[in-house]
Amino acid sequence: MTSFDGTGPRPVAERLRTWEWVYLGYLLFVPAQPYFSPDLAWWEWPLAITVCAATVLLYAVALLRGRSARQVWSSIVPMAVIGALATPFNGAASVLFIYAAAAAANTLPWQVARRWLAGLTVLDCATALLSQVPVPYRLLGFASAFVMIWVVGLLELRQRDRRRELENQRLRTTQVELLATLAERERIARDLHDLLGHSLTAVVMRAQLTKELVLADPQRARAESEEIERNAREALAAVRSTVTGWRRTSIRAELEVARRMLAVTGVTLRVSCEDEPPLAAAAEHELGLALREAVTNVARHARAATCHIGLDADEEGVRLVIADDGIGGAAPEGTGLTGLRERIAKLGGEVRRSGAAGTTLTITVPLEAAR
């Protein structure tokens, strides 16, 4: 039977161009009775034609309205009424009860639809008692409608649940894709901040130094300008690899970068991690970016003379410490430190910041996440 699946604001012509018209083939049983009737009354053909025409009209209305609550009064009730009036004189007109059952199952909630199926069954039995059709033909029409009301109705209810589940699954898939897109955007934003914040800081500092050395020491100014070009190229390559998700850094590489950056600002770097612990690639990448963010903050804001970087591991986890002897304080954290905390939190670690006697940043990562 029909699924009355004309949902959505589709054009009228498109909603009417559907294979579901094939279900109207069951209406051929209605004119079959006067065609094979041995004692044909004058009103049998007009009745059969009227029933068929009214059913086609209501069927078209159902297709146009789709799964709408208005179908109760625009399709289901009229089909049931026409079936109840015509069936006592034409047993095959009980097919309208089946159409009404299909429309109810597709439109109404489960409990309401089942009550409609029960009501249509009672109506089918009542019209059977009032029918003027001879008994053998009467039983054939009413018994088939009695069974098909429930078969078609329950099948339509199950198909509707299946369609709803598929729609929910599509919504869940869309939500997962959206969350994945947002997560990727956040990753790119964090990485670009870390990369460009560090690289541009180095470029700005070297550019300022170069401007002062142009007249006083042209040879050193030339060397600094070459370093600016190298930093800019490294930043460009890092941005490209970050966008594609291929970039990976390491503690050793970031220590070398930190040494060059702090040298420009006159900060002495002291490193204590001779026995560098073996780290998983993901953990080392996140710790490397954390180191980069911390060193960039030292170069930008600390006004420090010395910066100490320590890396060690014990039974609990890996600990990275960046401490400076600068101005310290309890200034609000910017987006860089916020992104750093998010990175480390994904590894199950934590970030502690102390602003007394300079600034100390302690980053710990559990051993199971670091190796």
Q: In sequence order, which residues have a C-beta less than 8 Å from that of residue 292 and are 6 or more positions away?
A: 194, 195, 198, 249, 254, 257, 258
Q: Which amino acid is at 75?
A: S
Q: How far apart are CA 274 and CA 104, in angstroms?
A: 77
Our CA angle for 119, 122, 125, nearest 5°, is: 150
CATH superfamily of 251-369: Histidine kinase-like ATPase, C-terminal domain (3.30.565.10)
pLDDT at 67: 59
Strands 317-324 and 306-313: antiparallel
Residue 340 CB contacts under 8 Å (≥ 6 apart), including other chains = 289, 290, 293, 294, 351, 363
CA distance 232 to 340: 23
**pLDDT in the model for residue 3:** 45
Is the entire prediction scored with pTM above 0.85? no
H helix count then E strand count, the chain: 13, 5
Check if the beta carbon of residue 289 is closer than 8 Å to that of residue 281.
no
Separation between Cα atoms, residue 20 and residue 264, nearest integer Å: 77
Going across the sheet that includes 317-324, the strands are 268-272, 306-313, 317-324, 359-366, 350-354
Same fold yes or no, 178-245 and 251-369 = no
Distance of CA 306 to the CA centre of its chain: 49
CA–CA gap between residue 142 and residue 128 (Å, rounded): 6
Confirm or reject CATH 1.20.5.1930 for domain 178-245, answering yes or no: yes
For 231, other C-beta atoms within 10 Å of its C-beta total 22
| Percent helix, strand and coil across the chain, each to the nearest 5 | 70, 10, 20
Q: What is the pLDDT along the chain (371 residues), one digit of tens a residue?
A: 444 444 444 555 555 555 667 777 778 888 877 777 777 788 888 988 898 888 888 877 777 766 555 666 777 888 888 888 888 888 788 888 888 888 888 888 888 888 889 988 898 888 888 877 777 666 777 888 888 889 888 888 888 888 888 888 888 877 777 777 777 677 667 766 666 666 777 777 778 878 887 778 888 888 878 888 777 777 777 666 666 555 567 888 888 888 888 887 889 999 987 566 788 888 888 898 889 888 888 888 888 899 999 998 888 889 999 999 988 877 777 777 888 888 898 888 999 998 877 899 999 999 888 87
Per-residue pLDDT, 9 = 46
Q: What is the pLDDT of residue 371?
A: 75
Domain ranges of the chain: 12-174, 178-245, 251-369
**In the chain, where do the E strands start and end?**
268-272, 306-313, 317-324, 350-354, 359-366
Write out the H or E segment, with its range, that includes residue 260.
helix 251-265
